[in-house]
Structure 1
């Protein structure tokens, strides 16, 4: 197991245990996070603040791996984010949605580039429509179409 894999595993463990200090240590000062919902986020503090909001909205959040890969300075995780929405969901606009009480299991993929024992670049991929449908935030007709595929 290489350094990239070790750092990615520490990151995931810090998310699962909601360890703010370990989460912050996983990222370099000027790290870049690319997300499907907020685009590019630059800097350790902004990245960790983005991730903290998931803990507030989904206090029981955890990651179920389907595969782990690493090569050189890159680690890749495939799996599912599993959680129950019991806290407010912060939207990119700054508005919040009240808790839905619904459970989600959303397929995701993370790709992290590691340098000097910290994440320098991190890309999150997840299906926003599936996420919103599972939360009950889409019109029922669209949710039916999504679930039929």
Structure 2
């Protein structure tokens, strides 16, 4: 595994290469991945979550623009994800949004808790409304919230 200074860039490179196997090497077998897209427990579910984004955005690219380095555990970064929606994308209600051809630019932040060179817990935050608006979806006051 890469040293601490290379860890996050290496993980971002694996994501940008859409290399699920290499990306999973950064996680423990029983890692927990928490994001607005859902909670994935264990590497198999983490792989599935990333595969959903890669299918919907085959050109998905993360640009890390800030990495916290003044702490004992500097596994916190801010990033921008860009891509074009050219494939099916799984929505929270289980339906797939067919390709819209729209470009996205999504800002986010993540924090990884690492033990023995592997991610044990990864928390990722981005604005789902920002993502869905860029995909042409919208909230409707006529759509009641589920009870």
Fold match by TM threshold 0.5: yes
Alpha-carbon distance in 2 for matches of 1:49, 1:25: 15
Aligned partner of 1:119 in structure 2 is 119
**TM-score normalised by the chain length of structure 2:** 0.86
Shift of 1:137: 0.9
Shift of 1:3: 3.7
Would the alpha carbon gap of residues 32 and 4 (structure 1) be closer, same or farther in structure 2, given more than 3 Å must change?
Answer: farther
Alpha-carbon distance in 2 for matches of 1:95, 1:42: 22
**TM alignment of 1:4-15, pairs within 5 A:** 4-15=4-15
Aligned partner of 1:147 in structure 2 is none
**TM-score normalised by the chain length of structure 1:** 0.85
Bigger helix share: 1
Aligned partner of 1:24 in structure 2 is 24
Q: Deviations over 1:55-98 (max 9, x none)?
A: 11001111122211243234111121111000000123332110
Alpha-carbon distance in 2 for matches of 1:63, 1:101: 19
List runs of 5+ in structure 2 lacking aligned partners.
141-147
Alpha-carbon distance in 1 for matches of 2:5, 2:101: 34
Alpha-carbon distance in 2 for matches of 1:28, 1:5: 19
Shift of 1:8: 1.9
Alpha-carbon distance in 1 for matches of 2:61, 2:14: 10
Q: Which moved more, 1:42-51 or 1:69-78?
A: 69-78
Contact 1:31 1:43 in 2 (8 A): yes
Q: Are residues 1:73 and 2:73 paired? A: yes
List runs of 5+ in structure 1 lacking aligned partners.
141-149
Would the alpha carbon gap of residues 111 and 26 (structure 1) be closer, same or farther in structure 2, given more than 3 Å must change?
Answer: same
Aligned residues: 139
